[in-house]
Amino acid sequence: MGANIGNWLDERFGWRSVWEAIFLRKIPHVNWFYTLGSATLFVAMTQGITGILLTMYYVPDPARAYDSVVYITTQLPMGWFIRGLHHWGASAMVVLTVAHLLRVFFLGAYKYPREVTWITGVFLLLVVIGFGFTGYLLPWDQRAYWATTVGTRIIGVAPGIGEWLLRVARGGSELSAVTLARFFGTHVWILPAALLTLIGVHLYLVIRIGISAVPEKDE
Amino acid sequence: MTPAQDKQANRRDFMKTAIVAIGGIIGGAIGIPAIPYIIGPAQQKDNEDWIRLGAVSKVELNVPTLFKTTLETQTGWVSSEEEFSVYVLTENGQDFSVMSNICTHLGCRVRWIPDQDGFFCPCHNATFAKDGSVVDGPPPRPLDQFEYKVEDGVIFVKRG
């Protein structure tokens, strides 16, 4: 009965071949360092889920942002846990992404035919750093405020257009309500959209080309 | 099936089980806390404390007396102040009835009109008697009564 329904659905969806292509593909004999990419992906998923949960209470307004974060952490049942996961997951994202990048680099996995996978991966690293930078401001406490003051000031030292870029990043000359709102919008809309698109391409290439084997001594 | 294939199959089954188990643990670790996290604010009890109205001696005999105070309310991360008014009525100086000034029809504020010996609601011309019962108009029930207590000559009402 169950098998019949499965067959009936598969005739229409064709999901078995998709499942086989994704999960039953042949891979070379590799080591544990090859799991870093998957680890990054799964932490990214928990960041997405906990982040969505946080937006149910967080308010991106200077008058209320800090109070709403305190409310999440101290008043809500399990709020400390959800926020804690998102907080530590953010650090884990950066560590795992860099570790994954180092694995690919040192094992030469970026070479033909995987150059585009590498390039999308580099952009993914930038997106992850962007998440970290924009997310850091959102609690709107002293550390967030001054870290972003310094961080955006760094943009300002770019030659020529630095001052202008600084104003774009802050939405004016000073850190303000505009800064907080645009960092929030970037953190929850622009960067997730970029992340999903890039992960889509990245994973498509990983599945289409397959992963590289550990190089031999004389390779 | 050769022993090698058999071993291979077992390994595959083990990995499948391990993936499902670990995935289940991770899913549960996030999914289960998410439930109290989402429904938490609905479960919280509304503020239930005693509101200080003022000296009992201010209540006139047989005349509903208005007491006004400001209430601080904390909803989520926002604390706000709101005006809170009630009418207190006593016939013997011992037993009181504390009535809400909110019309039971659609929530407008009622006002005591001494000349007409009744509460009047400006929204739909409802009138309530001195004891809060409906005299005329659309309200479905008498004015709401508050629980009260008197301590050291000061009257308090229970919020909620």
B37 vs A53: CB contact, 8 Å cut-off? Answer: yes
Domain boundaries, chain A: 31-209
Q: Indicate if the pLDDT at residue B1 is higher than 60.
A: no
Measured between beta carbons, the chain B residues lying within 8 angstroms of A68 are 76-77
* pLDDT given at position B151: 87
The span from the CA of B66 to the CA of A132, in Å, is 56
Q: How close is the nearest chain A Cα to the Cα of B68, in Å?
A: 29
Q: How close is the nearest chain B Cα to the Cα of A164, in Å?
A: 36
Cβ-based neighbours of A182, under 8 Å, separated by 6 or more: A171
A78 vs B30: CB contact, 8 Å cut-off? Answer: no
Helix (H) or strand (E) segment spanning residue B126 = strand B126-128
Backbone angles phi, psi at B52, to 5 degrees: -80, 125
The pair of structure tokens assigned to B124 is 């739909």
pLDDT digit string (tens) for B6-55? 666 788 899 889 999 999 999 999 999 999 999 998 887 766 688 888 88
Neighbour tally for B128: CB within 10 Å: 25
Cβ atoms of A186 and A136 within 8 Å: the answer is no
DSSP B102: B
SS3 B38: helix
Cβ atoms of B119 and B135 within 8 Å: the answer is no
pLDDT digit string (tens) for B127-154? 999 888 898 889 999 989 888 888 888 8
Q: How close is the nearest chain B Cα to the Cα of A84, in Å?
A: 11
pLDDT digit string (tens) for A52-103? 999 999 999 999 999 999 999 999 999 999 999 999 999 999 999 999 999 9
pLDDT digit string (tens) for B60-89? 888 888 988 888 888 889 988 888 889 988
Measured between beta carbons, the chain B residues lying within 8 angstroms of A50 are 30
B30 vs A76: CB contact, 8 Å cut-off? Answer: no
Q: How close is the nearest chain A Cα to the Cα of B13, in Å?
A: 13
* pLDDT given at position B59: 83
Answer yes or no: do B17 and B71 share one domain: no
Neighbour tally for A7: CB within 10 Å: 10
Which of B26, B33, B77 is facing A82, going by the closest CB pair?
A: B33
Smallest CA-to-CA distance from B85 within B63, B59, B62, B111 is with: B111
* pLDDT given at position A52: 97
Measured between beta carbons, the chain B residues lying within 8 angstroms of A55 are none
Smallest CA-to-CA distance from B71 within B85, B89, B54, B88 is with: B85
pLDDT digit string (tens) for A29-54? 999 999 999 999 999 999 999 999 99
- Prediction ipTM score: 0.87
Which of A71, A82, A85 is facing B76, going by the closest CB pair?
A: A71
Answer yes or no: do B36 and B88 share one domain: no
Cis peptide before B33 (omega within 30 of 0): no
A71 vs B77: CB contact, 8 Å cut-off? Answer: yes
Answer yes or no: do B40 and B71 share one domain: no
Q: Which ranges of chain A would DSSP assign to H, the alpha helix?
A: 2-13, 15-23, 36-55, 65-70, 79-106, 115-137, 142-156, 162-170, 177-185, 191-209
Answer yes or no: do B131 and B63 share one domain: yes
Interface test with A, best of B8, B19, B30 (most A CBs within 10 A): B30
Looking at the structure of chain B, the number of domains it has is: 2
pLDDT digit string (tens) for A161-203? 999 999 999 999 999 999 999 999 999 999 999 999 999 999 9
B77 vs A77: CB contact, 8 Å cut-off? Answer: no
* pLDDT given at position B5: 65
Measured in whole angstroms, the distance separating CA B2 from the mean position of its chain's CA atoms is 71
Confidence of residue B3 (pLDDT cuts 50, 70, 90): low
Average the pLDDT over B101-125 and give the result. Answer: 89
The span from the CA of A25 to the CA of B133, in Å, is 78
Neighbour tally for B54: CB within 10 Å: 16
pLDDT digit string (tens) for A92-151? 999 999 999 999 999 999 999 999 999 999 999 999 999 999 999 999 999 999 999 999
Which of B36, B77, B78 is facing A77, going by the closest CB pair?
A: B36
Average the pLDDT over B109-132 and give the result. Answer: 89
Average the pLDDT over B106-132 and give the result. Answer: 89
Answer yes or no: do B129 and B67 share one domain: yes
**How many Å from the N-terminal Cα to the C-terminal Cα in chain A?**
53
* pLDDT given at position A23: 87
What is the pLDDT of chain B when averaged over all its residues? 86
Measured between beta carbons, the chain A residues lying within 8 angstroms of B36 are 77-78
Q: Indicate if the pLDDT at residue A7 is higher than 60.
A: yes
Which CATH number applies to A31-209? 1.20.810.10
Q: Indicate if the pLDDT at residue A219 is higher than 80.
A: no
B77 vs A79: CB contact, 8 Å cut-off? Answer: no
Interface test with B, best of A75, A80, A83 (most B CBs within 10 A): A75
Vertex B56 angle, CA B55 and B62, to 5°: 135
B41 vs A76: CB contact, 8 Å cut-off? Answer: yes
* pLDDT given at position B158: 85
* pLDDT given at position B159: 78
Which of B26, B40, B78 is facing A76, going by the closest CB pair?
A: B40
Q: Which domain holds residue B107?
A: 50-158
A47, closest residue in chain B (CA to CA): B30
A53 vs B76: CB contact, 8 Å cut-off? Answer: no
Q: How close is the nearest chain A Cα to the Cα of B3, in Å?
A: 21
Answer yes or no: do B111 and B32 share one domain: no
* pLDDT given at position B44: 77
A56 vs B76: CB contact, 8 Å cut-off? Answer: no
DSSP A211: P
How crowded is the C-beta side of A42, counted as CA atoms within 13 Å? Answer: 11
